[in-house]
Amino acid sequence: MKTIIRYLLIVSVGLFTACDYLDVVPDNIPTLDNAFRDKMTAEKYLNTCYSYLPNHGDVKSDPGMNAGDEIWVYYPLDDRYTGARDPWQIARGLQNRNDPYSNYWDGGRSGKAMFQAIRDCNIFLKNIVKVPDIDEALMKRWIAEVKFLKAYYHFWLMRMYGPIPIIETNLPISTSVEGVQIYRESVDHVVEYIVSLLNEAIPDLPIEITKFTTELGRVTQPIAKTIKAKTLVWAASPLVNGNSDLQITDNKGENLVAGAYDQSKWELALDACNDALLSCTEAGVELYEISSSIKLPDEIKTELSIRGAVTSKWNKELIWGGTNGNNDELQRICMPRFITAHIGNQSVKSLHAPTMRMAELFYSNNGVPISEDKDWDYTGRFETAEADTTAPYYVEPGYTTSKLNMSREPRYYADMSFDGGLWYGQGLFNGNDLYRIHAKYEEGSGKLEEGRYSVTGYYAKKLIHPETESTSTYFATENYPFPIIRLADLLLMCAEAENEVNGPGANAYKYLDMIRSRAGLDGVVESWTKHSTLPDKPKSKEGLREIIQQERLIELAFEGQRFWDIRRWKLAKDYMNKPIRGWDVHQSDVAAYYRVVDLFNGSSEDSYEFEDKDYLWPLKEYNTLVNENLVQNPGW
C-alpha cells in the first residue's frame, strides 16, 4: 500500500516570491512514487520540508516577538491586532492546556505542526535515494539540508516544551496501538540527538550561498554550526542545567531533566561557539556598519549601523535570515504617524509598543546601566526637562521630555522612539531635516483615535527599514529578511560561554567590546572603571554574567530573543512579575503625560503571576489522554 502524504502549502511574502524553495509539493501528487519520480518533484518535497520553518519575526506566530514583556498593546484587542492575539495572550497569563496558544506540537493557535514537519523530513530522507536523475553531490547537499531542518524542528520544540519525543524514523502504518504510545526523551538525550544530526549535516552544506536569486535563506555550514552552538548554550543554561525546581518524571520513573549542574555542558557550548565563529569568519560574516563614505553626521551613521544590522537586506552580519515571516505587517504596526495628516492612512497602525522596562534597560551615554552610572540622575529619571544640544540628532533641542530619554547610549535612539525624539529616514534623508516625534494626546504621533496608538508612548524604530515610507495616502514597505541569527547574537553567546568556562578575561571582553564599539561605546572594563558605582563588576564571573545578560537584552532587543533568554537563564519570574508600565498617553499636558502608569499587573482585575510552570509550554490535554506515556509538564 502506498503511503498518502499530507502536504503544506505556503503563501510567500512579496519580496521572497522569487526564492524557488518556497515552491512546495502540490496537492495533486498523491503518492511517494510520484513525489520522488525525478529531481524536480523531489525538490518540491525539499521545499515542503523548508515550509514548516517558523515565521520568525511575525507577531502572529513567533512567540518571541510579543508573548513576553518587551512589547505591549492596547486591550481589548480589535481587528488591527487580531492576528497577533494568540501569542500575546501568553504574555497576559492566559496559556492553557485545553487549547494551548502557539501550539507547535500539534499545530494550532498560530503554531505550525512541528512533528508533522519532522515526519515529512523523514519521508524525504528515506526516499531521496530513489530519484534517478540527481547527481550525488546535490543529493548529499539536500540530505544535509533536511537533516538540519529535522534538527532545528527538534530544537524549536525542545526550547518550548523541554523533554520531547525523538522521531528518528516514521512508524509504519502497521504499528500497534501500544507501539505508537511514544515517550518523551530526556533533555540530555534530545540535545545529543540534535547535535548528532547537525554534525552529520555540516560537512555536506555549502560554506555560503552563491545563487542569490534562488537560494537565499537556504542552510549553510555557518547556520548549522551556529544553531549547534545555540542548542548547546541552551542546554548549559540554568533552566535545564542544575534546576532542581524543574522535575519531570515519566511513568517509567525516568527523570527527564537532570537536576545536577554539569560544568562540562558549558565547555561543549564554548567549543561549539568558537567553531561557529570560525566558520562565520571564513564565510565573510562581519558586524554591519554603514559605509563611511556616506555624508551624514556621525551620530546618524551610528544609528543607521545599528538599525541596518537588522533591516539591511542580506547584509554581512546576517548568518541566517528568515523568509517566511511578514515584516510588511511588522513595520506597519511599529510605525508612528509622523504628522497629524497621516491619520487618514489606515496602513499606519502604530501599536507595537515597547514597554517602560525596555526604556530603562539601555545604558547611559557612558555605556553602563543607568542605575549604576555615578553621573546619571537615576532617581530623577521620570522628571522632565528641556533637552539641550548635546544630542541634536537624537532628541529635539529645547523640547520638554523625560530625563529618561536624555544622555542615553546610541542604541536607545536607534531602537526606540519617544515624545521629543528625532527620526531619520521614512522619506527624510537629510541629516539636518528629521521627523520630530510629538506623542502626547492628539498630537501627530500620539493618540488620535482608538486602536492606532502606542499604549506606552514608545515605538520600536529598530524594526522599521529606513526607506519604508508612509504618507497620508500610501504605505511603501522596504522588506528585509528577519534576522533569525546574526553575528552579534553569536558573539554574545561566545562571551557568555567563555565567562562560564574561564571567567572574566580578554576573550570575553573582546566579544563584548566588538559589539559595543559599533554602538559607539567604550569597552566594558574602561566604561565600568570610569563611570560605574560598581567599577570591579566586570572582573568577577557573577558580575560579568550580569553584564553579558544586559548586553544581550539590549543588543537583541525586539528581535524575538529576549523571550527565550530570560527563560533559559531562569530569570523570567523576576522580569515578568513586575508591572508593565508606560507614560499616560491619554494626556496632552506635559506634567500629566509624564506620569508612569501601570498597564498590566497594576490591579487585581488585570494581573497574573508568572509561575514555574510558565517556563515551558503545556502539552495539549487531549494528547496526554490518548497517550498515557506523555507526561504533562509540571503545573499544567
Q: How much is the pLDDT for 175?
A: 81
Report the amino acid identity of residue 523: G
**DSSP codes, 361-385:** HSBBTTSSBTTTBTTS-STTTTSEE
Percent of the chain with pLDDT over 90: 82
Give the long-range contacts of residues 393-396, CB within 8 A, separation 24 or more.
Answer: 393/297, 393/299, 393/300, 393/303, 393/422, 393/424, 393/431, 393/434, 394/299, 394/303, 394/421, 394/422, 395/420, 395/421, 395/422, 396/420, 396/421, 396/422, 396/436
Q: How much is the pLDDT for 173?
A: 80
**Biggest alpha carbon distance in the chain?**
78
CA distance 98 to 621: 5
Q: How much is the pLDDT for 24?
A: 55
Residue 581 pairs with which residues in a beta bridge?
Answer: 598
Is 46 part of a structural domain of the chain? Answer: no
Q: Which domain holds residue 545?
A: 215-249+263-573
Is 130 part of a structural domain of the chain? Answer: no
H or E segment to which residue 518 belongs: helix 506-518
**Buried b / exposed e along 353-375 (16+ C-beta atoms within 10 A):** bbbbbbbebbbbbbbbbbebbee
Q: How much is the pLDDT for 325?
A: 67
Is 625 part of a structural domain of the chain? Answer: no
Is 67 part of a structural domain of the chain? Answer: no
Is 314 part of a structural domain of the chain? Answer: yes
Q: Euclidean distance between the first and final Cα of the chain, in Å? A: 41
Is 585 part of a structural domain of the chain? Answer: no
Residue 234 has which C-alpha cell? Answer: 541552551
Question: Domain containing 553 — which CATH number?
Answer: 1.25.40.390
Cβ contact 515:552 at 8 Å: no
Cβ contact 406:364 at 8 Å: no
Q: How much is the pLDDT for 84?
A: 60
Low-confidence ranges of the chain (pLDDT < 50): 1-23, 26, 28-29, 603-604
Please indicate, yes or no, whether the overall pTM of this predicted structure exceeds 0.75. yes
Total domains present in the chain: 1
Is 286 part of a structural domain of the chain? Answer: yes
CA distance 193 to 177: 26
Is 6 part of a structural domain of the chain? Answer: no
CA distance 353 to 334: 7
Report the amino acid identity of residue 62: D
